[in-house]
Amino acid sequence: MSKIYPVIGCCGIACGLCPRYYTAGVSKCPGCGGAGFEDKHPPCFVKTCCAEKNGLEVCSQCAGFPCLKYEDREKIERDSFVTHKRIFPNHEEVKAESLDAFIGRLNERVSVLEEMLAKYDDGRSKSFYCLAAALLSVEALRGALAGAARTQGDCKTKARALRADLNILADGENIQLRLDA
């Protein structure tokens, strides 16, 4: 079975918020199960089990979740790849509501991220915007975008203001965004 939603990985990674999802060129990732996924990634045992063997979009739809693949939750959450930090909250949202409700909220984040990239990408902010979109609340993201829209100046000036606002909002949500404003 092929996946319907490449923006969410079987493992719970929000692929649609990853910098590689927005990369132009050979290192672009199509998202979990997207066109050419197998060409970009070595065989993924999580995707094989979830999508191919069980016909599911995400592991949390499985009656056996969490299985041994998720046994060391602390190690997974410590992973330096930022989108890994939301694996378990993403799975919990899918289980608590539905995949469709989760995808709707994820698409809101993707939409805000795509607006940041379209209007305020100064050539050095993509990873930062992806990080913010993955970790901050949608309300905070929308507030920062509204502030950037009111900022006078060129793209670099607006991007600097947006990064500063996102850092302030992250502090308010007790979230550490690694890049400086």
* pLDDT(180) > 50: no
Least confident of 17-31, 37-51, 111-125, 138-152: 37-51
The pLDDT-based confidence of 7 (bands split at 50, 70, 90) is very high
pLDDT above 70 covers a percentage of the chain that reads 91
If we measure between CA atoms, which residue out of 137, 134, 125 comes closest to residue 164?
125
pLDDT for 76 equals 64
For the chain, give the mean pLDDT.
Answer: 87
Burial (CB count within 10 angstroms: exposed 0-12, middle 13-18, buried 19+), residue 119: middle
Once rounded to an integer, what is the mean pLDDT over residues 47-64? 92
pLDDT average, residue stretch 39-48:
83
The structural domains of the chain, with segments of one domain joined by +, span: 1-96, 110-181
pTM of structure: 0.86
Q: Is the pLDDT of residue 39 over 90?
A: no
93 vs 79: CA distance, rounded Å: 20
User: Concatenated DSSP letters for 101-154?
Assistant: HHHHHHHHHHHHHHHHHHHH--SS-HHHHHHHHHHS-HHHHHHHHHHHHH--S-
User: What confidence tens digit (pLDDT) does each residue in 9-34 have?
Assistant: 999 989 999 988 998 888 888 998 88
User: What tokens does 133 get?
Assistant: 């979109």
pLDDT score of 181 more than 80: no
The whole-number pLDDT of residue 24 equals 86
Reported as a single tens digit per residue, the pLDDT across 68-108 is: 887 776 766 666 666 667 888 899 999 999 999 999 999 99
**Host H or E run for residue 10:** none
pLDDT tens-place string over residues 138-174: 999 999 999 999 999 999 999 999 999 999 998 888 8
Q: Which residues are CB-neighbours of 100 under 8 A, at least 6 positions away?
A: none
pLDDT at 144: 94
